[in-house]
Amino acid sequence: MKDYYVIIDCDPGIDDAMAIMNAVNSENIEVKLISTVSGNLTIEETVRNALKLTEIFNVDIPVAEGAREPIKRQPIYAGLAQGTKGMGGYQFKTVKREPFILKSPDAIHYALCQNMARNTTILCMGPMTNIANLLLKYPESREMISKIVFMGGSKDENGSTVPYREFNVAYDPEAMQIVFDSNIPLIMVPMELGHIAYFTPEEQLKIKRANKVGEIFYKMFTKYNDFHVGKLGAAVHDSCSALFLTNPEIFTLEPAFLKIEYHKNNDNEYGYIKCDFNANKTNAMVCVDVEIEKFKKIIYGNLFNYN
Ligand code: RIB
Ligand code: CA
C-alpha cells in the first residue's frame, strides 16, 4: 500500500536533511507538512534549517515550528554530532521562507484535518515531543493517523548490559511512551540500521560530484561526527525511516512489543526502548535489516534529480 499523505516531524540535522531530500523526491508519497522539534539543536535552529532545506530542494512544503523542549525533561542537544548549526560544514546566511502560520502540534492537527482520508502517515525523525503534544491536545487525531514510522531506539543492546542510549529516545522518553500508549500502528527503525546505512568517504565524493545539492551534502558530512560509525562514514539514520515509507520492499520487519524503560547511570537516569521480540503481544513492527545496495541506489537516484 502506498503511504500517500505524509507529515514529517524532524530536528534537522544532517541525516534529517538527507531523509527529507529522499521523501520529497519520491513518487510514492506526498509530503504535506514538515514539522520541526528541538532535538539535535534548539527549535530556532531546526526551523531555520528545515526552511533552508525546502529552498535547496526546491519544494513548496509548509514548515512549522514545534516544541522547544521535552515534555518534562531539560533539553540535551547533539551539536557534537551535527555541528554547531546542525548542518555540519554547510553554512548559510539567509533564509527567504517564513514558518507556517500555525505551530505544532496545531500545524500537524491542521494537516491531518485537511487529509481526512485517514491514510496520513507520520514520519518521525527526531524526539516525539510534538506527536505526544498532538495526542494530548487533540486525542481524536489518533483516528486520522494510519501509522507512525519513527527512527529511534535500539533493537537490541548489542549484548551489552548497559541499554543503548539512542538520542531521539533519550531526549524525550516520556513523549515516546505517550505515543506507544496511543495504539497507533508503529514501525520502529532502530539505530542498528544506521550502523550499516552509512556513506563511506569514497561514496561521499560520489555524492559531491553529482551536482550542487550533492556538494551541499558533502559539506554537511565534513563535520558530521556520528561516533557510532566513526571514520567508516556518515550514518544516515533518518533516511532509513524515510526510505521505509518510499520503498518498504527493501526492508525486513519483525513484530515486537515496545515500551520505555529507564536506566540509572551515575547521576542521571535515561530512557530507552525495551524491544521485546518474544512477547506474547506486540505493538510494533521493527526494521531489522535493509538491502543496503538498493538503499544507496535509491538515494543516488533521488539526488540525481537535481542535475
Ligand atoms: O540517533 C540518531 C537520531 O538522533 C537521528 O534522528 C539524528 O538526527 C538525531 O536526531
Ligand atoms: Ca533526526
| Digit-coded pLDDT (tens) for 35-59 | 999 999 999 999 999 999 999 999 9
How far apart are the CA of 40 and the centre of ligand 2, in A?
7
> Is there an atom of ligand 1 within 6 Å of 46 CB?
no
Residue 3 CB less than 6 A away from ligand 1? no
Q: What is the torsional sign of CA 237, 238, 242, 244? A: positive
Query: Is the separation of the CB atoms in 242 and 16 below 8 Å?
Result: no
pLDDT at 301 over 60: yes
Atom of ligand 1 nearest to the CA of 235: 2
Q: Which residues contact 62 (CB under 8 A, 6 or more apart)?
A: 33, 34, 100, 107
pLDDT band at residue 158 under the 50/70/90 scheme: low
Q: Which helix (H) or strand (E) holds 8?
A: strand 5-10
Q: Ligand 1 pocket, 193 CB below 6 A?
A: no
Catalytic residue chosen out of the listed positions 109, 195, 237, 263: 237
Q: How many CB atoms lie within 10 A of CB 161?
A: 6
Higher-pLDDT residue of 116 and 274 is 274
Please indicate whether residue 237 is annotated as part of the active site: yes
- Report pLDDT digits (tens) over 230-272: 677 889 999 999 999 999 999 999 999 999 999 987 778 889 9
Run of H or E residues at 33? strand 30-36
What's the 40 CA to ligand 1 centre distance in angstroms? 7
Query: Are the beta carbons of 282 and 257 closer than 8 angstroms?
Result: yes
Mutate to test the pocket of ligand 1, among 168, 191, 223 (most ligand atoms within 8 A of CB): 168
pLDDT band at 84 (very low <50, low <70, confident <90, very high): confident
Distance CA 106, CA 298 (A): 33
Query: What's the pLDDT score for residue 186?
Result: 98
CA dihedral (151, 123, 224, 294) in degrees, to 10, reads: 80
Q: CA dihedral defined by 36, 292, 246, 230, rounded to 10 degrees?
A: 0
Q: According to the model, what pLDDT value does residue 235 have?
A: 92
pLDDT band at 117 (very low <50, low <70, confident <90, very high): low
Arithmetic mean of pLDDT over the chain: 93
pLDDT at 224: 85
Higher pLDDT: 69 or 229? It is 69
pLDDT score of 4 = 86
Average of per-residue pLDDT across 162-183:
93
State the pLDDT at residue 80: 73
* Cβ 243 vs Cβ 250: under 8 Å: yes
Residue 101 Cα to ligand 1 midpoint, Å, equals 27
Q: What is the pLDDT of residue 207?
A: 97
Give the phi and the psi of residue 26 in degrees, each rounded to 5.
-95, 140
Residue 151 has pLDDT above 80, yes or no: yes
Neighbours of 92 (CB within 10 A): 13
5-to-28, 58, 117 alpha-carbon distances in Å: 9, 19, 9
Closest listed ligand to the CA of 192 = 1
Check residue 163 and give its pLDDT: 78
Residue 195 has pLDDT above 80, yes or no: yes
Render pLDDT for 203-219 as a digit per residue (tens, 0 to 9). Answer: 999 999 999 999 999 99
Specify the pLDDT at position 157.
61
Residues 82, 199, 275, 118, CA torsion sign:
positive
C-alpha of residue 280 to centroid of ligand 2, in Å: 31
